[in-house]
Amino acid sequence: MKIAPMQVKFSYLDRQFSNIDTYFSDLKKFVISGDFTLGNALHEFERQFAALCRIPFAIGVGSGTDALVLSLKVLGIGSGDEVITTPTTFIATVGAIVQAGAKPVFVDSEDGFVIDSSKVEAKLTKRTKAIIPVHYTGNVADMPTLERIARKHNLAIIEDACQAIGAEIDGKPVGSWGVTACFSLHPLKNLNVWGDGGVIVTRSEDIAEKLKLYRNHGLENRDEVSIFGWNSRLDTLQAVIGNRLIREVGFITDQRIANATYYDDAFRNLQDYIHVPKRRSNVKHVYHLYVIRVEKRDQLLAYLQKNGIEAKVHYPIPVHLQRAARYLGYKEGDFPVSESDAKSIITLPAHQHLTREELDYTVDKVRNFYKERTANTAEQICGNRK
Amino acid sequence: MKIMDTNTINKTHISYTDLTGQHAYLKDELLEAVSNVLDRCQFILGPEVEAFEQRFAELCGVSHAVAVNSGTDALVLALRALDVGSGDEVITVPNSFVATTSAIVLARARPVFIDVRDDYNMDPSQIESVITSRTKAILPVHLTGRPAEMNTILEIAKRHHLYVIEDAAQAVLAAYHTKRVGSFGTIGCFSLHPLKTLNACGDGGVLTTNDSGLFKRLKILRNLGLESRDRCSAWSGNSRLDTIQAAMLLVKLKYLPKWTEQRRLNAEFYLKQLGGLSEIRLPIEQSYEKCVYHTFVIRTDRRDELKSYLADNQVETAIHYPIPLHLQESAASLNYKIGMFPMAEAQANHILSLPIYPELGQEKLNRVVSVIKKFYRG
């Protein structure tokens, strides 16, 4: 009898709702209330989110992408301006810069998949208005250095913290450096809702008030419009869900860190095949994605998937080499770290609901893959000698 | 199907609109729809989104529909899909919700206003006087749920090679010479905002088109420009209708014809009962129109007095909208002045929207009418 392989899923959503009745009882109240737009549950969620981030103001918007677009617009960044970011990110970071009318300028990433702060100053021009460091995978960019650069050149920092809720550097939470920090509540994020959603946090009351205008058609009140704004409001329905899930963030983060540490330890004796990024002791990495660099990536990926492990690649094409980026004039070779990563990175499931058995199974399969290959290679060599 | 009058809790007050009536009897169906989504956990672009799009396209009599995050986004994406942007001009009206004009500005084009007619919709006879070499599109609004004068608008657009984008945010199911709105222009844009006649339990919007090329482009543009998981062909934003909202909208679509019919019956009642008051100007439905009465707008010289009198008598009314868009602070850079659109400006001072929502009920309709009659006849 053939036993089906264990399934190790990338997404944990089907395991998230062990206590689904409480969500439905909240939803029932919500549906009957008719309080669907900028409702009470949203205000409650914004208070909770700000408290969680330890930043005074939080504004719920339509998505993480919208959070970035609105942050740029509120700072008056647009046509003719340049914004520094990295090609090692989800395309939305760059999509947002272009939506705002500005030009994205790329800086290569470093070992931890975040912007290489030592390469930023070389890319500054008199049109540079902002830096968008991405706390990619849940790691934190080198904010102290970036802050020094921003201050020296009078630039704004907008933190793309879409993957990094709860992350810290030197004990300071993400959102502590930027004029704003942008979060995504997309269903696959550490803190998620049941659809698209985003949050902007800021320490400035003035910016917070402006963002509330920008997300709601520029309406000062029902009838008066002071700026032409967007419609980008976090649905109150999603805030109802968020208000429950936000209580889980501590557990989610701790569990993901524990899973990542478990992998890190297990892969230590596979150094010939696997490069685990350097873990910085002053950073609390929240492992939205557990990404490592590996030998024979495509074969490993296929092998793991064949064995029921939903490994992925985030992402196989660096943003500057996307068709959408052609007009910017970048070419292969411009960002060697980002480009080489795109060929060697793999993402393993690390979500908070994985069992020890599933972690062990994943580690075993990775180990077996390299063991089998080594054996095969040895056999081949012997065979050739015959 | 039964439309319940749940407003018995407060017998005296009549709200301008009341979502609780509709949702009290829909709650079980809506929660079941959400529960089905949860079984699959496909919260983003799940199968319910496509099912909704297909049903909506059929409803409008078009080949394709694309569901997005809001009616505003629908307009912005329509303009972007047609490459209308920086340096281009779009002809529209100054008496709409702000989103009509915002969308043009967000697409980086310039809104060019023309005045409206007595029926609150675009006056097509003014279009040609503002067409320049930069004009790319005409954006008529089917305000109040009444279709704009599409035959003339389409004819002018054809002559000058302009796109027509219908702002049908208030007008799902409205018809003009037997064709439904959203099927006339290059693209039709609808809102699914909670206060619209077809309403999500949050923000939502949908576009309609018969052009399969535009359909494909819109689907890519609403999803960050992604052609597949890993390939991005155009920079764009994130504007997807949540699967959960699509699932609930599929429930509501079943009720939409009935709700629309009820709005029309409510309108008919007002028209009959208020017809004898010479001080009030009532909406007129032409024989070739089917209005869906998103709003029931009357006009009177003593608007503010009537509004306060109704409020004193526990009848809430609204004004859609008291400040024309060309006179908003946000429009300052467009350099329009008071007096430039006399019809829209005069209407802004005289219009009043009466409660018209489907669950209003006969008793409340009677009260609204009797308070208005009392105001004029004592």
Asked whether residue B3 is domain-assigned, the answer is no
pLDDT in tens, B200-242: 999 999 999 999 999 999 999 999 999 999 999 999 999 999 9
Q: Are the Cβ atoms of A218 and B102 closer than 8 angstroms? A: yes
DSSP class per residue in B14-59? B-S--HHHHHHHHHHHHHHHHHHHHHHT--SS-HHHHHHHHHHHHH
DSSP class per residue in B195-231? TSSS--SS--EEEEES-HHHHHHHHHHTBTTBSSSS-
Q: Which residues of B touch A63 (CB under 8 A)?
A: 69, 237-238
Residue type, A340: S
Please check the confidence at residue B307 and state whether its pLDDT lies above 70: yes
**B209 and B225 fall within a common domain:** yes
Cα torsion A54, A59, A64, A67 to 10°: value is -110
Q: Are A179 and A146 in contact (CB under 8 A)?
A: no
**B209 and B264 fall within a common domain:** no
pLDDT of residue A380: 60
Q: Which DSSP helix (H) or strand (E) runs through B91?
A: strand B89-92
Q: Are the Cβ atoms of B41 and A13 closer than 8 angstroms? A: yes
**B175 and B310 fall within a common domain:** no
pLDDT in tens, B153-187: 999 999 999 999 999 999 999 999 999 999 999 99
Q: Are the Cβ atoms of A34 and B18 closer than 8 angstroms? A: yes
Q: Which residues of B touch A20 (CB under 8 A)?
A: 38
Asked whether residue B19 is domain-assigned, the answer is no
**A195: nearest CB among B226, B237, B242:** B242
Q: Are the Cβ atoms of A95 and B102 closer than 8 angstroms? A: no
The label of the residue with tokens 């803190």 reads: A191
Please check the confidence at residue B305 and state whether its pLDDT lies above 90: yes
ipTM: 0.92
Asked whether residue B13 is domain-assigned, the answer is no
**B171 and B289 fall within a common domain:** no
**B206 and B267 fall within a common domain:** no
Which token pair is B49?
């989104």
**B235 and B280 fall within a common domain:** no
Q: For residue A102, give the chain B residue with the closest CA.
A: B235
* The length of chain A, given as a count of residues: 386
* The length of chain B, given as a count of residues: 378
DSSP state letter for B143: G
**B218 and B266 fall within a common domain:** no
Helix, coil or strand: residue B119: coil
Asked whether residue B46 is domain-assigned, the answer is yes
Averaged over B334-356, what is the pLDDT?
Answer: 98
CA-to-CA dists, residue B183 to A64, A260, B49, B163, angstroms:
33, 53, 20, 13
Q: Are the Cβ atoms of A324 and B41 closer than 8 angstroms? A: no
**B218 and B292 fall within a common domain:** no
Helix/strand/coil (H, E, C) string of chain A?
CCCCCCCECCCCHHHHCCCHHHHHHHHHHHHHHCCCCCCHHHHHHHHHHHHHHCCCEEEEECCHHHHHHHHHHHCCCCCCCEEEECCCCCCHHHHHHHHCCCEEEECCECCCCCECHHHCHHHCCCCEEEECCECHHHCCCCHHHHHHHHHHHCCEEEEECCCCCCCEECCEECCCCCCEEEEECCCCCCCCCCCCCEEEEECCHHHHHHHHHHCECCECCCCCECCCCCECCCCHHHHHHHHHHHHHHHHHHHHHHHHHHHHHHHHHHHCCCEECCCCCCCEECCCCCEEEEECCHHHHHHHHHHCCECCECCCCCCHHHCHHHHHHCCCCCCCHHHHHHHHHEEEECCCCCCCHHHHHHHHHHHHHHHHHHHHHHHHHHHHHHC
Residue ranges of chain A whose pLDDT lies below 50: 384-386
Q: Look at residues B229, B250, B271 and tell me which one is the last residue of a structural domain.
A: B250
Q: Which residues of A touch B99 (CB under 8 A)?
A: 217, 231
Q: Look at residues B222, B250, B278 and tell me which one is the last residue of a structural domain.
A: B250
Q: How far apart are CA A183 and CA A171, in angstroms?
A: 19
CA-to-CA dists, residue A252 to A12, A53, A79, A169, A351, angstroms:
11, 15, 40, 19, 8
Q: Which residues of A touch B37 (CB under 8 A)?
A: 194
Taking the CA of residue A287 and the nearest CA in chain B, the distance in Å comes to 21
DSSP state letter for B190: E
Burial A163-176 (b: 16+ CB within 10 A, else e): bbbbbbbeeebbbb
Q: How far apart are CA B91 and CA B128, in angstroms?
A: 10
**B213 and B71 fall within a common domain:** yes
| A381 close to B (CB below 8 A) | no
Taking the CA of residue B293 and the nearest CA in chain A, the distance in Å comes to 21
Asked whether residue B138 is domain-assigned, the answer is yes
Q: Which DSSP helix (H) or strand (E) runs through B296?
A: strand B296-299
pLDDT of residue A5: 75
For chain B, percent of residues with pLDDT exceeding 70: 97
pLDDT of residue B7: 44
**B97 and B211 fall within a common domain:** yes
**A65: nearest CB among B20, B105, B237:** B237
Taking the CA of residue A98 and the nearest CA in chain B, the distance in Å comes to 7
Taking the CA of residue B323 and the nearest CA in chain A, the distance in Å comes to 7
Q: Are the Cβ atoms of A225 and B325 closer than 8 angstroms? A: yes
- Counted across chains A and B, CB pairs separated by less than 8 A come out at 180
Domains of chain A plus CATH, in order, are 13-247 (3.40.640.10), 249-385 (3.90.1150.10)
- Look over chain B and give the mean of its residue pLDDT values, rounded to a whole number: 96
Q: Are the Cβ atoms of A187 and B41 closer than 8 angstroms? A: yes
Taking the CA of residue A322 and the nearest CA in chain B, the distance in Å comes to 6
pLDDT of residue A3: 65
Q: How far apart are CA B314 and CA B247, in angstroms?
A: 36
**B235 and B270 fall within a common domain:** no
Q: Are the Cβ atoms of B20 and A229 closer than 8 angstroms? A: no
The label of the residue with tokens 């024989």 reads: B287
A205 backbone dihedrals φ, ψ, rounded to 5°: -65, -35
- In this predicted structure, which of A8-22, B80-94, B288-302 has the lowest mean pLDDT? A8-22
Asked whether residue B10 is domain-assigned, the answer is no
Helix, coil or strand: residue B232: strand
Q: How far apart are CA A234 and CA A46, in angstroms?
A: 10
The label of the residue with tokens 């490592």 reads: A292
Q: Are B130 and B151 in contact (CB under 8 A)?
A: no
Asked whether residue B5 is domain-assigned, the answer is no
> CA angle, corner B237, sides to B138 and B38, nearest 5?
115
DSSP state letter for B283: P
Number of domains in chain B: 2
* Interface list for A 218-247 with B (CB within 8 A): 218-219, 223-233, 235-238
* Interface list for B 323-352 with A (CB within 8 A): 323, 325, 328-331
The count of other CB atoms within 10 Å of the CB of residue A202 is: 25
Asked if the peptide bond before residue A23 counts as cis, ω within 30 degrees of 0, the response is no
pLDDT of residue A62: 98
CATH number, domain with residue B319? 3.90.1150.10
| A18 close to B (CB below 8 A) | no
For chain B, percent of residues with pLDDT exceeding 90: 95
Averaged over B321-345, what is the pLDDT?
Answer: 97
A143 Cβ contact list (under 8 Å, min separation 6): A133, A157, A159, A169, A172, A176, A177
Which token pair is A100?
């705002």
Find the distance separating the first CA and the last CA of chain A, reported in whole Å.
37
Q: Look at residues B192, B221, B250 and tell me which one is the last residue of a structural domain.
A: B250
Q: How far apart are CA B12 and CA A29, in angstroms?
A: 24
Asked whether residue B228 is domain-assigned, the answer is yes
Helix/strand/coil (H, E, C) string of B52-80?
HHHHHHHHHCCCEEEEECCHHHHHHHHHH
Mutate to test the interface with B, among A231, A323, A345 (most CBs of B within 10 A): A231
Mutate to test the interface with A, among B72, B201, B221, B227 (most CBs of A within 10 A): B201
**B108 and B48 fall within a common domain:** yes
User: Rg for chain B (alpha carbons), in Å?
Assistant: 21
Which token pair is A83?
């914004």
DSSP state letter for B234: S
Q: Are A211 and A200 in contact (CB under 8 A)?
A: yes
Q: Which residues of B touch A13 (CB under 8 A)?
A: 41, 43
CA-to-CA dists, residue A188 to A181, A196, A351, B39, angstroms:
19, 10, 10, 16
pLDDT of residue A385: 47
Q: How confident is the model at residue B69 (pLDDT cuts 50, 70, 90)?
A: very high
Q: Are B325 and B105 in contact (CB under 8 A)?
A: no
**Domain span including residue B103:** 24-114+121-250
Taking the CA of residue A90 and the nearest CA in chain B, the distance in Å comes to 9
The count of other CB atoms within 10 Å of the CB of residue B234 is: 18
Taking the CA of residue B176 and the nearest CA in chain A, the distance in Å comes to 29
pLDDT in tens, B113-161: 999 999 999 999 999 999 999 999 999 999 999 999 999 999 999 999 9
Q: Are A98 and A104 in contact (CB under 8 A)?
A: yes
Q: Are the Cβ atoms of A65 and B105 closer than 8 angstroms? A: no
